[in-house]
């Protein structure tokens, strides 16, 4: 089905997917090649969406269109969206998920350490949301989901840069909600806790043991648990949820 074909509009409260009887939507996931992003790609594909994954290497999970894109470069972001939209139609779902860490204590944190993390996690997400919202505004439908972190509102020693970048995504999502929320576009933050990926694989054993003790669920999370929440927020049924921060953290950040 062409992306311009008339869409089924679900009026039943029980309807939570937008793929009933249609060919799915055009979705972009940044950092979709591995970790949490790859699980998000898989979940969106499972829902029948057409998915493009942006990453610096350009590789993607099976079934998705891999596009090389460094989100710190506005021209690359624009070119990547152009390529995704030529293949899949105007972007309707954006999951801004690319992220990096550059941890060190504040006294040792250089300007470059701070800037790199902000430029990737915050400004990269801004660049993608800005570009994606162009198509969403025309279609008067859109889902923007930012991968934040429990650390954004909870704080974490050695992560002043990372925590700042993730906290700021809450302001971005809420401002977008107020700016373009009346056009059928939602913007939310999913805030994972400690999830088993490459990003957490390097943690020392005693650090992991400490997390196990602090997390009410008593374990690290799985990537598919984050992906399931993102897929729900991308669905038709989540159309009245916007400006929210949804934790997927086993209870670690309660109240933050």
Q: Which string of x and - marks every residue 103-142 that binds ligand NDP (by CB under 6 A)?
A: -----------------x----------------------
Subset of 152-211 contacting ligand NDP (CB under 6 A):
192, 194-195, 197-200
Closer of 10 and 227 to ligand NDP (Cβ): 227
Helix, strand and coil content of the chain, in percent to the nearest 5, comes to 45, 15, 40
Residues 63-82 as b or e (16 or more Cβ within 10 Å = b) = ebbbbebebbeeebbeebbe
End-to-end CA distance of the chain: 43
Which span sits near ligand NDP by CB under 6 A: 98-106, 167-175, 202-210, 230-238?
Answer: 98-106
The CB-of-117 to ligand NDP minimum distance in angstroms stands at: 9
Closer of 15 and 116 to ligand NDP (Cβ): 116
Binding residue (CB under 6 A) for ligand NDP from 10, 26, 33, 60 = 33
Binding residue (CB under 6 A) for ligand NDP from 57, 171, 218, 251 = 57
**Residue 3 DSSP class:** T
- Catalytic residue positions? 162
């Amino acid at each position: 089905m062409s992306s311009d074909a008339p869409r089924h509009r679900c009026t039943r409260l029980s309807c939570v997917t937008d793929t009933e009887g249609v060919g799915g939507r055009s979705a972009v996931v940044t950092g979709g090649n591995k970790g949490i992003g790859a699980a998000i790609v898989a979940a969106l594909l499972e829902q029948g969406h057409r998915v493009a994954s942006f990453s610096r290497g350009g590789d993607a999970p099976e079934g998705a269109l891999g596009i090389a894109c460094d989100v710190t470069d506005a021209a690359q972001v624009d070119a990547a969206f152009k390529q995704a939209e030529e293949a899949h139609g105007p972007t309707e779902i954006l999951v801004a998920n690319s992220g990096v860490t550059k941890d060190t204590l504040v006294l040792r944190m250089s300007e470059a350490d701070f800037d790199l993390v902000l430029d990737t996690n915050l400004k990269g997400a801004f660049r993608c949301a800005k570009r994606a919202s162009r198509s969403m505004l025309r279609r008067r439908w859109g889902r923007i989901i930012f991968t934040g972190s429990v650390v954004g509102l909870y704080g974490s020693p050695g992560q002043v840069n990372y925590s700042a970048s993730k906290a700021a995504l809450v302001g971005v999502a809420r401002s977008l909600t107020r700016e373009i929320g009346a056009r059928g576009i939602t913007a939310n933050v999913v805030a994972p806790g400690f999830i088993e990926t490459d990003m957490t694989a390097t943690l020392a054993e005693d650090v992991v043991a400490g997390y196990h003790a602090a997390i009410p669920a008593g374990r690290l999370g799985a990537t598919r648990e984050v992906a399931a929440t993102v897929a729900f927020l991308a669905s038709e049924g989540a159309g009245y949820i916007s400006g929210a921060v949804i934790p997927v953290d086993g209870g670690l950040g309660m109240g933050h």
